[in-house]
Chains A and B, each alone.
Chain A
Amino acid sequence: MLELINVAKSFGNLKVVQPTTLRLEPGRTTVLIGPSGCGKSTLLRLMIGLIEPDQGQVLFDGEPITPQNVMLARRKIGYVIQDGGLFPHLSAEGNVGLLARHLGWDKRRVAARIEEMAELTRLPREALSRYPSQLSGGQRQRLGIMRALMLDPEVILLDEPMGALDPLVRFDLQEDLRKIFKSLKKTVAMVTHDMGEAGFFGDRVILLGSGRIVQEGTLDDLIRSPGDDFVKRFISAQRLPGISNGQPAGNGEPAAEANR
């Protein structure tokens, strides 16, 4: 599985990630949450090899990721970004099937897999032949997820996947995504700045601040016993119903439930 062992990253003088160790738990969803600039997206980019750590190691299935093996590792890791990151020159199915076709899958196998993925992500079939610019934001994001799942990767990384969606569309997609992750038993890491979303998805929530892990546990743990003032302030800033001034809600009802 994916592990970060004591990795650190600076951009110029700015230490974006302080030495950090983090293991994704197999079959479970880990949510990275924190304010802008806390290093949560950088951690995700380190995991997929978009950037290399200044120190420490990134392990995939126990092996350090190197420039030589990173391409093969990426094929076993799905990566989803805001708005899907679809290529405008390819149709929806062209986008989803791009890597499979490049790897030499025959047409029927590609078509069958796309069909399966469309059903899983509840994408209307007629959307498959359209181009990204002809699709809605929600449809584009479903396609981004289809593309990430196409080769049935062990791990899925999502960088603020719902960031650009309106609340109703987001609500439906969140429901569908959680079902998919649970039914396929995928190892998932998701970056968000929305506490509600973190609680809804996260078997484990990791709160980051200034490039280091501040606290981790279930959302409930974070709300009930915030480790320090920063955690309190971050939780109260979310304006979750029933929580004020960083005080946990009296009956311990997870805030995410209220958001459902």
Chain B
Amino acid sequence: MKGSASPLCVIASLALCSALGADWAQAQQPPKLRIGSKASIEGTVLGELLTQVARQAGADAEHEAALGGTQIVFQALTKGDIDAYPEYTGTLTAEILQADQLRSEDELRAALARRGLAMSRSLGFNNPYVIGLKEDLAERLQIRKISDLAQPEHARLRLAFSDEFMQRGDGWPGLKATYGLEHQPKTMDHNLAYRGIESGSIDVTDLYATDAEVKYFNLRILEDDRGYFPTYHCVIVYRADLAARAPRVVTAFQQLEGKIDDVAMREMNTRSKLDHVRDAQIAAEFLQQRLGLDVPMPRNGGGLLATTGEHLFLVVVSLCAAVALAVPLGIWSYKWPKVGHGIMGVVGIIQTLPSMAVLVFMIPLLGIGPWPAIVALFLYSLLPIVRGTLTGLKEIPGHLKESAIVLGLSPRARLWRVELPMASRSILSGIKTAAVINVGTATIGALIGAGGYGEPILTGLRLADVGLILQGAVPAAALALLVQGGFDLVERLVVPQGLRLSTGKA
């Protein structure tokens, strides 16, 4: 009896130990979390807020700020590139899950659960789309309700809506049908639309109820007298597995429910947009003052060094990959001119693809972060390098190509000992062009969380903060000049002295 019990005991205690050990290891290693946010002021402030709350709950949380529009961020969540982000119920039912025809919150929760997602209750504020125009203009024309816009005498009002509003299921198409509007609205960036309203170049635009500018520019919000717009309660949408992976974070998210009212949200938006306070600071202050959480006051951002590092990473990795492919492509194009026509055609077409389209196309394949940006930069680098290689090889005088042949060098030796060295200047100048273009283009990487100098530029555009834009634009320009200078140095090392002499003479 005793003898048989002891091995059982050993097994049981081993099992217990390993269970404890695993638990202990989990406690020691904080869960890694990526919080996303849309590219809007409210989006990034809330994203920062969630990130700080998650960190407070013991997670190793990163904020992938301002990833882009609704579709990009929701895709990133379903793919698992991010774990949570702030979203609005109206957007979920009327735009993202429109096809599901959801009628209640329970149905919404069930629809999310089918996609491996969950959501919190409302954080407390409602941020519907509203339609607004300047108070004095509204007063003069006696416009109070959206249906007033349909009056024939207001047919000449100039409408401009954000790109997303023009497309969305809960946007312009439905609004037009519901109210019988005949206007032909223009498409305009949300932040620029405020400027347009202020300068008088447009009259009516779509707004978010909690936007700081509503008050600042003294805008009148028109009554939605036919109840077209759904409510847009702000919720946290997160991956359902978070409950197992980071239960404390989910609990902390739930503690935010009902804590942010309309006033508090508009105040935070105002602090960001009009006072140019950084998101991290706004979020930390809110958590300290309103919720009494003991969050550390964030230090000043990643800083120039970090953005420079991110930016260089994008440029260097994409450029190296492009050189590795494009130089051989250039050589093949030279050796087989028919293949070369095809190659030049393809890389030429790639060059004409809009960068935004390439980025969005890459997200389902590569997720968010630096890699889709690197692939895009890589693709754009191909043309100048292939062309530089091809031109350099073609320009070698015929009698010198023949000299190499009659000498009895093998084709391989001719390439490495004669043709490539003679083409080196042209190849290098193609690489230089690609590098300089890359430094500039890499700024768009910030749209999908790749970091780099684009981040301050994008934030600056969102906040209409020229200083912040310059914080990204100036180092990007400086880096481009530096790259140019760097390549002039490399040319001295790589291009044979004899070639530099002969051009010097010519």
Binding site for B on A (CB under 8 A): 48, 50, 71-75, 77, 79, 81, 85-91, 98-99, 102, 131-134, 147
Residue in A closest to B402 when the chains form the complex, CB atoms? A50
Given that A98-B417, A102-B413, A102-B417 are known contacts, is A88 also in contact with B406, CB under 8 Å in the complex? no
Most chain A beta-carbon neighbours within 10 Å: one of B404, B406, B422, B424: B406
A79 near B406 with CB under 8 A, answer yes
Cβ–Cβ < 8 Å partners of A81 in chain B: 399, 402-403
Cβ–Cβ < 8 Å partners of A48 in chain B: 406
**A-B Cβ contacts below 8 A, count:** 70
A131 near B408 with CB under 8 A, answer no
Select B422's contact among A71, A88, A102, A147, beta carbons within 8 Å: A88
Binding site for A on B (CB under 8 A): 399-400, 402-410, 413, 417-418, 421-422, 424, 496-499, 501-502, 505
A85 near B408 with CB under 8 A, answer no
B497 near A131 with CB under 8 A, answer yes
Most chain A beta-carbon neighbours within 10 Å: one of B422, B497, B501: B501
Q: Give B174 Cβ to nearest chain A Cβ, in Å.
A: 68
Residue in A closest to B425 when the chains form the complex, CB atoms? A89
Most chain B beta-carbon neighbours within 10 Å: one of A50, A85, A89: A89
Cβ–Cβ < 8 Å partners of B408 in chain A: 71-75, 99
- Complex Cα distance, B17 from A84, in Å, reads 84
A90 near B399 with CB under 8 A, answer no
Contact sample, A vs B, 24 pairs, CB 8 Å cutoff: A75-B407, A77-B406, A79-B403, A81-B403, A85-B400, A85-B402, A87-B404, A88-B499, A88-B502, A89-B418, A89-B421, A89-B422, A89-B496, A89-B499, A90-B496, A90-B498, A98-B417, A99-B409, A102-B409, A102-B413, A133-B498, A133-B501, A133-B505, A134-B501
Given that A85-B399, A89-B422 are known contacts, is A50 also in contact with B501, CB under 8 Å in the complex? no
Residue in A closest to B422 when the chains form the complex, CB atoms? A89
- Complex Cα distance, B404 from A187, in Å, reads 22
A133 near B502 with CB under 8 A, answer yes
Since A74-B407, A87-B498 are in contact, a sample of 14 more A-B pairs with Cβ atoms closer than 8 Å, ordered by chain A residue number, is A87-B404, A88-B422, A88-B502, A89-B418, A91-B498, A98-B417, A99-B408, A99-B409, A131-B501, A131-B502, A132-B498, A132-B502, A133-B498, A133-B501
- Complex Cα distance, B407 from A91, in Å, reads 17
Query: Closest 4 interchain pairs by CB?
Result: A75-B408, A85-B403, A89-B496, A74-B408
- Complex Cα distance, B405 from A73, in Å, reads 12
Cβ–Cβ < 8 Å partners of A90 in chain B: 496, 498
Residue in A closest to B504 when the chains form the complex, CB atoms? A133
Residue in A closest to B505 when the chains form the complex, CB atoms? A133
Cβ–Cβ < 8 Å partners of B403 in chain A: 79, 81, 85-87
- Complex Cα distance, B309 from A8, in Å, reads 66
Cβ–Cβ < 8 Å partners of A74 in chain B: 405-408
B406 near A89 with CB under 8 A, answer no
- Complex Cα distance, B400 from A119, in Å, reads 26
Q: Give A7 Cβ to nearest chain B Cβ, in Å.
A: 18
Cβ–Cβ < 8 Å partners of A147 in chain B: 407
- Complex Cα distance, B421 from A88, in Å, reads 10
